[in-house]
Amino acid sequence: MSMRPRSSGIFSGLVFIVIGLLFLLHNYRGFEFHDVFRHWWPLIIIFWGMLKLYERTSGRPLEPGASRITAGEIFLILGLLALVGVVVAVDAVKEKFPGTHIELGDFGRNSYDYDLEVAPKNVAANARINVRGTRGDITVRASDEPEIRVTGKKNVRAWSDGDAQKVAERASVEIVQNGDGYEIRPSGSNSGDSRLGFDMEIAVPKKASLTVRTADKGDIVVSDMAASVSVNNQNGDVDVRDTTGDVNIDMRHGDVKVSDTKGDIKLSGKGGEVEITSATGGLTVDG
């Protein structure tokens, strides 16, 4: 008498056990269940497929000398496990070192740097200036000249110098007027390419009000400004120093350092370590 494989029941039981454990962690350790599901839900499909594969092979009648599971199926399972291991390793590194620039697609690629050339633009001494970055470090310092100057590097991760040049040639940074203010932002057909980053060194008028936003990874440094400074950083460290206006910093990942400031300081979001020295204004922490 043949018996039907019981792996379907095993799978259902494992699902309930895992869900129960996740909810326990959520209740008692502040575990973010929705974040885990959002990032790791494909594992459900992988494990379900592996169990279905086991059902098919275990329920198949065997011929004399035949193997229940073929070598191809074993390699498939090992490949899936290796892929999951790589994803787990990359995620662990990014969690432990939030500023690390590491992606699955970067393995085997080299890093190439190209000069960033942007024409200076004359602006009012008290202009509103918005810097919008993607991936890369941004340094903003005050200048006595009524103009915006941008220099730096375009960083490309690619398999060869030829591939990197193709990405870099079609991407740059532009300074555009937006109402009564100015915006510094990546431009070109390849500006949103995940392999591309911009390390920008920016000089702006000392009395200009400044806002710096990043959408991906990179550190931000702002110094010597006389008006308000706002920073919104997704993944990287922030260093603001020698300013006289108010400072507003909204963080997601990374450390914050504020020093030698005279205006009020407001910190919001979540991040790593916070160091504030020689600050004479008030401090507000939200988050």
Model confidence at 253, pLDDT cuts 50, 70, 90, reads confident
Model confidence at 234, pLDDT cuts 50, 70, 90, reads confident
Task: Look at residue 36 in the predicted model and tell me its pLDDT.
Answer: 55
* Average of per-residue pLDDT across 26-43: 54
What are the structural domain ranges in the chain?
7-97, 110-286
Q: Which of 203, 209, 208 has its CA nearest to residue 221?
A: 203
Of 43-47, 121-125, 249-253, give the lowest mean pLDDT range.
Answer: 43-47
* Average of per-residue pLDDT across 180-197: 87
Task: Look at residue 116 in the predicted model and tell me its pLDDT.
Answer: 93
Work out the percent of the chain whose per-residue pLDDT is above 90.
Answer: 46
Q: What is the pLDDT of residues 158-170, one digit of tens each?
A: 888 888 898 899 9
Question: Is the pLDDT assigned to residue 135 strictly greater than 50?
Answer: yes
What pTM does this model have? Answer: 0.66
Question: Is the pLDDT assigned to residue 190 strictly greater than 70?
Answer: yes
Q: Which of 145-149, 193-197, 268-272 has the highest mean pLDDT?
A: 145-149
Question: Is the pLDDT assigned to residue 250 strictly greater than 60?
Answer: yes
Task: Look at residue 99 in the predicted model and tell me its pLDDT.
Answer: 45
DSSP string, the chain: ------HHHHHHHHHHHHHHHHHHHHHHH---HHHHHHHHTHHHHHHHHHHHHHHHHHTSPPPTT--SS-HHHHHHHHHHHHHHHHHHHHHHHHHHSTT----GGGTT-EEEEEE-----EE--TT-EEEEEESSS-EEEEEESSSEEEEEEEEEEEESSHHHHHHHHHT-EEEEEEETTEEEEEEESTTTT-TTEEEEEEEEEETT-EEEEEESSB--EEEES-SS-EEEEESBS-EEEEEE-S-EEEEESSS-EEEEEE-S-EEEEE--S-EEEEEE-S-EEEE-
* More confident position, 47 or 123: 123
* More confident position, 36 or 110: 110
Q: Which amino acid is at 231?
A: V
Mean pLDDT of the chain: 78
Q: What is the pLDDT of residues 78-109, one digit of tens each?
A: 665 665 566 556 555 555 554 444 454 454 56
- What sign has the CA pseudo-torsion 216, 233, 176, 198? negative
